[in-house]
Structures are given as structure tokens and as C-alpha cells.
Amino acid sequence: MSQTVESKQTNNQVNEQYKEVYAYTQQILDLIAKDEITKDEAAWVTRETVENFRDHVNPGFLGYRKSVTKDGQFAAVEWKDAGPNSFMDVNGKVYIDCLGGFGIYNVGHRHPKVVEAVINQLNRQPLHSQDLLDPLRAMLAKILADVTPGDLKYAYFANSGTETVEAAIKLAKMHTGRTTFIATTKAFHGKSLGSLSATAKGVFRKPFLPMIPGFRHVHFGDIDMLRKTFEACALVGEEIAGVILEPIQGEGGVNLPPEGYLKEVRALCDQYGALLILDEVQTGMGRTGKMFCCEHYDVTPDILCLAKAFGGGIMPAGAVVATEEVFKSFFPNPFVQTTTFGGNPLACAAAIATFNVLIEENLLERCVELGEYMLNGLREAAAAHTDKVHEVRGKGLLIGIEFHNDEIGYEVSKGLFDNGVLVAGTLINAKTIRIEPPLTITYEEADQVIETFKKVLPLVKI
């Protein structure tokens, strides 16, 4: 038998082996290519999604997703965007997005300029060779040096927030030669092992103990406790490599720092030779009305972490930006901290376009105006329900509504969802739901969110 005949027989066997997988993939690709799908197709998508989450992803997610209707039928499976500030489920219901993928849609869903930049780069070269110099990485690094505060100058690129925190921890260790870090209670910095060591939620940490050694936690906003921790560590010979915190805690419940707190943290770091690492994965890229939240407090970190909205809601992207003095620890061997896809051409194109849009459309100013408008409206709505609402707080379009217990927060969140507004609780503080819409949200949509909140709140029983 000739080699050609043997090869064809082998190929036929392989094709037969994967026949069902091929048909399934083709069915999915055909659906993706459609502008609209039929009711039967929508029902198939819903069924496949629920069954595959249960059988192949994680059945635990089904209890947490807002996909269970009042009669217990799984119905809300998202399918496509419906304008810059909304999305549509597979059955055609539209929701105003006040979750924003945990803050990724700062410039809106599928902003045409970001999409165009990614498509143009996709048509040219989607990924780089890894050996030659890639131009967009260099250009994006310069942009970051230009827009970040103080003397932040060099950038390392990653794919997600937790990766940026991991890189920041490694950079701080390498620069200082120290291994002890101070983080804060109610902090969220990610779930990979290094960043999880800084994260403050026991439910996330306990199954994976021991964490990376050397992490201490102090109360967010308590400068005296931080000072005493520095002093205690110095007494026992544990010099601090860095203090890592969020300028405003996102997953902790949208917790704003006390007046002067960040400046005092900066001063303590300088006093003890520690680095200040600011995690702006959620607060950066205009979310609070400044390009970076630390600018509100006139504080510059030694290391700044970015992700989420950095990719324009189109590409996963993250960055660590540091001063030359700190970053030069990576100079002798640039391969000591690398990632295959971090800083890839598509992600860099998206990030470059995102900065362009933020500036061109004055989204920072818009964030301040819409943020004040929504904050005032939500506070007014909550004023008549102090038995349910503890506080409405925030800065820019990062707003938290804290209730007196978790159950009230869940019922309000579910009621908003049933009425076409998507929100979610914060991961560390379940009593608080976040209002985190795109910075492009309109006044009409903001009014709809506020009115829906007014409608739902009286219906919640306590």
C-alpha cells in the first residue's frame, strides 16, 4: 500500500473520530456569523449554555449568575451588545450595563475607534514573533510615560490585573531585596497565588494556604495601624519591600480613603525605604474622573498596576508602570519577567485607541458630571429607605450602594436585573452593590437607572 493511500486512510479515521466535534464547532460558527438568531436557535443556545456550564465549566456558577428567572427557568444568557452602554440577552431583552464587566467598558461597548484599531492591526499582524522589536509595545509604553503622574517611565505589559500585581510584587522584591509586604483589609488584588496573598478575603485564601510568605494586612484607612506595623516589622528585622493598596477599594465595597491617608502612606513608605504600589486595575483609565485615581489625592506611586478598561473593552490587557529607578532592576535580564501574550499587537492597538477616545471625547470630564448626577439621584432615592440603605458613596462613575445586610443587597440587585439594569455585589463586601456603567452612559440612561432603583427599593422586604 502506498504512503499516500495510508495517509488518506489515517486522515479519514481522524476525521471520523472528530466528526461530531467538527459539526458542533461549525454550528457555533454559523451562529456567531449571524446578525440575528431565531427563537429556536436562542432556545438551543440557552440550553447548551446551561448544560455545558453544569457539565463542563462549573455548576457552582449557575447559582451565582443572574440567569434564573422568577419561575426558575434559566433564561438570561447574554448574546450581544446593544449600543455603547447596554447589552442584549439571547432572547432579545436589553439591559443597561451598570456592572461594565467589573469596570472594563470605560469607553463603552465596542467603541468603533477601538474596534477599528484592532481590526486594522488584525489585518496587518495579530501577534508578534517574540524575537524582533514590536513597535506598538514601544509606542504604548511612551504614551503611558506621558499620561501617568510623576516620574513613572517604564512599562511591562500583561493580560490581566492579577498578572500586573504579580509582576509588581516581583519587581518590588527585586529592587529592594526585601520580602515583606503590607496590604489592607477588604483589599482585592487578584486570585493567582502572589496577588491572592495581598487579597483580603478569607474565602478566597483559605483553600490555598499557605500564601506567599511575608504579607501583613492592616485596616484600610488606618494610618496609625500602618505606622505601628512598619515599626514592629523594623524591630524584628523584617524590612518592608512595599505597601500595596487600591486608592479606592473596588471589591471591598467602593471604600474611599480618609482625607490625607494616601499622602501619609506615601510618607511612611519614603521613611522606611518601601515602595508604594497602587493597584488601579479598577480605578484607572478615567473611572473616577481622573485618568488615574491617585491624581485626586496628589500621590504618585513607585509602581502602578493597570488592566480591565486598559484594553478598551475589546482586548484583555494590563500594564505595570514604574519609575526608572525601580524598573531598572529588570534591565540586566529583560527575560526575568515576560509573558507570551502580554503587550501583543492587538492589545496594544486597543489600549492606544482607548487613550485616544478618552481624550477626544472628554470622558474624564463627562465621568465627573455623570458621576455627580447619578450619585445625587441614587442618594435621593435611598433617603426614604434608611431602614434598608446604609450609605451611597463613590467618586466619578465608581459608585457603591451599601445595604444593612447581604440579603437586601441581593434582592435589590435581582430586582434591578428583572427590570433591565445589570448591577452586582462587590466580591469582598456582599452588602454593597456597585454602579459602574460605561463613562459614555447618557443622562437618559442614568435617569432610567435611578428610576428603576426607586421602583425596586420599596418592593424589597426586610
pLDDT tens across 87-142, in order?
999 989 999 999 989 999 999 999 999 999 999 999 999 999 988 999 999 999 99
The one catalytic residue in 89, 97, 134, 279 is: 279
Give the count of domains, the chain. 2
Q: Is position 381 within any domain?
A: yes
Looking at 360, 385, 407, which one is the last position of a domain? Answer: 360
Shared domain check, 291 and 195: yes
Of the candidates 387, 383, 384, 380, the one whose C-alpha atom is nearest the C-alpha of residue 450 is: 380
User: Within 10 A of 315 (CB to CB), how many other CB atoms are there?
Assistant: 23
Shared domain check, 229 and 320: yes
Shared domain check, 372 and 354: no
Q: Is 308 a catalytic residue?
A: yes
pLDDT at 10: 60
Q: Is position 19 within any domain?
A: no
Task: Give the type of residue at 248.
Answer: I
Q: What's the rounded Cα separation, in Å, for the pair 196 and 189?
A: 7
pLDDT at 19: 92
Q: Is position 25 within any domain?
A: no
Shared domain check, 333 and 249: yes
Indicate the burial class of 101 (C-beta count within 10 angstroms; 0-12, 13-18, 19 or more): middle
Q: Which residue has the cell 467602593?
A: 254
Residue 97: all three cell numbers together? 450595563
Residue 215 is classified by DSSP as: E
pTM listed for this prediction = 0.93
Looking at 360, 379, 406, which one is the last position of a domain? Answer: 360
The one catalytic residue in 53, 87, 102, 188 is: 188
Q: Is 87 a catalytic residue?
A: no
Q: Is position 75 within any domain?
A: no
Looking at 360, 394, 412, which one is the last position of a domain? Answer: 360
Half-sphere exposure of 296 (CA within 13 A, CB side): 26
Q: Is position 30 within any domain?
A: no
CATH number at residue 404: 3.90.1150.10
Across 199-230, b (16+ Cβ under 10 Å) vs e yields: bbbeeebeeeeeebebbbbbebbebebbbebb
The one catalytic residue in 308, 388, 395, 431 is: 308
Shared domain check, 369 and 335: no
- 215-218 vs 152-158, strand pairing mode: unpaired
Q: Is position 169 within any domain?
A: yes
pLDDT at 62: 82
Q: Is position 154 within any domain?
A: yes
Shared domain check, 393 and 434: yes
Residue 192: all three cell numbers together? 493567582
Shared domain check, 276 and 321: yes
pLDDT at 26: 95
CATH number at residue 158: 3.40.640.10
E runs forming strands in 354-462:
389-395, 398-403, 421-422, 424-425, 432-435
Q: What's the rounded Cα separation, in Å, for the pair 326 and 385?
A: 50
Q: What's the rounded Cα separation, in Å, for the pair 386 and 361?
A: 38
Q: Tell me: cis bond preceding 210? Omega within 30 of 0 counts.
A: yes
Shared domain check, 239 and 169: yes
Average pLDDT of adjacent 10-residue blocks, the chain of 462 residues: 59 80 95 94 92 91 62 68 94 94 96 98 94 95 98 98 98 98 98 98 95 97 99 97 98 97 99 99 99 99 99 98 98 94 97 99 99 99 97 98 94 94 88 97 98 96 84
Shared domain check, 393 and 318: no
What is the chain's Cα-based Rg?
24
Shared domain check, 375 and 301: no
Q: Is 153 a catalytic residue?
A: no
Shared domain check, 322 and 266: yes
Shared domain check, 319 and 256: yes
pLDDT at 71: 46
Classify 196 in phi/psi space as left (phi over 0), alpha (psi -120 to 50) or beta. alpha
Q: Is position 180 within any domain?
A: yes
Range of the domain at 245: 112-360
